Amino acid sequence: MRSALTEAAHSVRGSKNYLGALYRRTASRKGKKRAGIVVAHAMLRISYYLLPEKKCM
């Protein structure tokens, strides 16, 4: 699960949304690897809050 989320996080780096901005902000301060983990964690938090409410279906 970690590798899938990290791969998705690295693919979002060029997008113009919250996750892309988070990646670029973190990568400038802490590096690309850490930025991938930070964005993957943000994705996991978003999915955690969406699943119980059944908004993603």
Determine phi and psi for 36, rounding to 5 degrees.
-60, -40
Number of domains forming the structure of the chain: 1
Q: Model's pTM, two decimal places? A: 0.83
Instruction: Give the Cα-Cα-Cα angle 20, 21, 27 (nearest 5 degrees).
Output: 90
Examine residue 57 and state whether it is found in any structural domain, yes or no: no
Examine residue 15 and state whether it is found in any structural domain, yes or no: yes
The domain of 28 spans 2-50
Q: What is the pLDDT of residue 53?
A: 67
What gap in Å lies between CA 41 and CA 47, rounded to an integer?
Answer: 10
The string of pLDDT tens digits covering residues 1-50 is 889 999 999 999 889 999 999 999 999 999 999 999 999 999 999 988 88
